Amino acid sequence: MINFISRYLLLFCTTIGGLLFSAGAFAQHTLIIKVNAFRQADKMFLAGSLNNWNPADSRYALRRINYFRWEIVLTGLAPGEYAFKLTKGSNETIETTGEGDDIINRIIRLRGDTTVLFSVGGWKDELKNPERFSDSARLASSISNGYKYLNINTDSSYKYALQTFERTANVSILMKAYAVNLQGEVLVKLGNTDKALELFQEGLKMRLDFRTHNDSGSVAYLYNQIGNVYWLMKDTLNAVQNYRRAMRWTQPYVYYHPFHETICNRLCNMGRACLGRKQLDSAKWYAMKASEVGDKVSAITDLFRGDISQAEHNLSAALLHYHDAFRLGIHHDDNYNVALQSYQRITALFEEMNQIDSALIYARRAFKLSNTLRNYEAISASGTTLARLFEDRGQFDSALFYQKQVIESGSRQVNQERERRALDTYFNEKIKEQETAARKRQQSSRFITYGLVLVFAIVVLFGVRHRIRLKSGYDKRMKEIEMRALRAQMNPHFIFNCLGSINRYIVKSDTRTASNYLTKFAKLIRMILDNSTSDHISLEAEMQTLQLYLEMESLRFDGGFEFEIETDENLQDTVQLPSMLIQPYVENAIWHGLLHKEEKGKLWLRFRKVNGHILQAEIEDNGIGRRNAAALKSKSSVTHKSYGMQISSERIQIINNLYKLNNSVTVIDLLDGLGGAAGTKIIINIPIS
């Protein structure tokens, strides 16, 4: 009886297993293929293993959704692997890369209902004779590639954006508008919001002046970009006004198609503006509208809903929304920046609830993701949080590790900021060249109407004037470039000394002092970056930088010297002086004067106005004097070479030559009653208006 039951159960299980296997093998799935094709075609077909690579199969024709997007929905497909490419109707019109290279077959492994999205770089029939490309075709290629790499490889995007400056001479207004849009996007990435705003507004004017019946999407896009720029500039009022204009220009179908994430971003930003004004009901209304857009799922929306719950002090609900945000950001929207923000917010919430173990988990996730994104500011923030949490737990080895990571990320952030500013300067020069070229073309077209003789005369006069201006301005520009280079040398030298100081505390395992020093260092770095954008800064800004620097040096030398900063009452805040000019002399007084003094030394820094138009800066120390310092330096095998003093002297000389000024530096050796060395005084005279 038992054997009979066993055989019956085995037969039943085998039958059920067979049925389940058959159901899986013959399951039918839906495949949706979405294509971004900036280089448009009248028709587009799918050719592949689905239809024996038929290049013009009408059953596999894609449907145009909007100006950029095409789509095809395939149903009833069995699980398996499918290969395909796109054509315009023949094997001679197959898709290629943007550079004209053949692409490998696109492969999809279908295991369930699937949606894929990709872009077409080019078409083979367009790329047979690239040397015969029209200006419009070349410009379209640069724009297409620029947008393709904008969020993937920014360096490549910059390269293609620069190409657009050379290819807008003989193209339509529409193509110029696309080029201006890309240039604005790149400038936003570079942080030049003022110029980006100017370009977006220029592109908007082009669109509004020459718009067609189907151009509302581009107008909405530009209003949205202008709103984003104002948002970055913290001008909430103008940002919300432009978001509302974008909403008015947005066609209804966009809310339910590929641009739903853009719509969610607009609504959430408008809601955040209400949240900032404590208008919770309005903020909730915008969050509700954002959740209704598209496929009803958005990481940006969940992040905003979490912010609303936190504002209502509903921490448990905020945690749920933040968890949804990072889950969607990583697995659905590919929005890793939203996921990073979610990790950071969750860490802060767990800290507030005193759940340190959970806070550590999400702080580590934030640290890992910020390293993946190469977001050095986020690395510093999450690393500082981890160092603090581990220090509070008494795990000093872990705290020290993350403090080192923060220091490294700070140095990388400085280098990244320097590269970004250099690229920004170069990009701005290209824009100016483009604007100058456009003005010249307009002038030339007007001159033709006056007749050949008048044109010839004006061209000759313009050429002579340009030659004179070029010759007279050459020396001045070269000196300006040289002065920028000298100032750029000083900042790395100054930062290197600070990093060395922090490293000493880390080696000594004095984590608390290292953390305090690191906080001052971060503030000082921000002040240096802010001041380095201008040739001259206010006296108040210079004094703040020197005050912070002296505090750091005094801390590093364990209070081995005191300092005092004095300022005349008749000095106004509007007084301007070259940035970072005085710091090297202060540094020299500490390193070569006060450092070798056996007892505690003192440094005086005085600013006064003399003769009505001279700013006089005095740096006085009661150290060992220049002669004794030179003797010690000659005996020592390890010396501190003062690059800053040499650079400052060269800067003063260039400033005098460039602006016809009479800045001067006087060094006085101080003596005591017996004629011995009693310190050094340096007097710097700077003309002011």
Collect all residues with Cβ–Cβ distance below 8 Å to 217 and sequence separation of at least 6. 66, 67, 249, 250, 251, 254, 259
Query: According to the 3-state scheme, what is the secondary structure of 323-351?
Result: HHHHHHHHHCCCCHHHHHHHHHHHHHHHH
**Alpha-carbon distance 468 to 233, whole Å?**
41
3 state DSSP class of 684:
strand
Task: Taking residues 499-520, report their average pLDDT.
Answer: 76
* Site of tokens 């701005």: 428
**Alpha-carbon distance 126 to 100, whole Å?**
9
Percentage of the chain lying above the pLDDT 90 cut: 10
| Residue 238 buriedness (CB in 10 A; 0-12 / 13-18 / 19+) | middle
Q: Are 199 and 183 in contact (CB under 8 A)?
A: yes
Task: Indicate whether this model's pTM tops 0.85.
Answer: no
At 117, the amino acid letter reads: L
**CATH fold group of domain 26-127:** Immunoglobulin-like (2.60.40)
Give the DSSP H/E element, type plus range, for residue 310.
helix 299-311
> pLDDT tens-digit profile of 53-66?
888 898 999 988 77
> How distant is the alpha carbon of residue 61 from its chain centre?
40
> pLDDT tens-digit profile of 407-462?
888 777 777 667 667 766 776 777 677 667 666 766 666 666 666 777 777 877 77
Homologous superfamily (CATH) of 536-689 is Histidine kinase-like ATPase, C-terminal domain (3.30.565.10)
Average pLDDT of the chain, as a whole number: 78
| Residue 314 buriedness (CB in 10 A; 0-12 / 13-18 / 19+) | middle
**Alpha-carbon distance 73 to 60, whole Å?**
9
Q: From the CB of residue 266, how many other CB atoms can be counted at a distance below 10 Å?
A: 27
Listed in sequence order, the DSSP H helices in 169-257 are 173-190, 193-209, 216-232, 236-249
Residue 621: what pLDDT? 93
Token pair listed for 466: 């340009």
> pLDDT tens-digit profile of 190-228?
778 888 888 888 888 888 876 654 567 778 888 888 988
Token pair listed for 246: 């974008």
**pLDDT band at 584; cut points 50, 70, 90:** confident
Percentage of the chain lying above the pLDDT 70 cut: 75
> pLDDT tens-digit profile of 339-385?
888 899 999 999 888 898 899 999 999 898 888 877 788 888 888 99
Q: Are 103 and 95 in contact (CB under 8 A)?
A: yes
Residue 620: what pLDDT? 94
What does the buried/exposed string (b/e) look like for 605-642 if buried means 16 or more CB atoms within 10 Å of the residue's CB? bbbebeeeeebbbbbbbbbbbbebbeeeeeeeeeeeeb
Beta bridge partners, 577, equal 537
Residue 306: what pLDDT? 92
**Alpha-carbon distance 659 to 689, whole Å?**
13
Q: Are 651 and 487 in contact (CB under 8 A)?
A: yes
> How distant is the alpha carbon of residue 264 from its chain centre?
22
> How distant is the alpha carbon of residue 163 from its chain centre?
21
**pLDDT band at 638; cut points 50, 70, 90:** very low
**Alpha-carbon distance 494 to 439, whole Å?**
43
> How distant is the alpha carbon of residue 291 from its chain centre?
28
Task: Taking residues 167-172, report their average pLDDT.
Answer: 63
Who wins on pLDDT, 254 or 39? 39
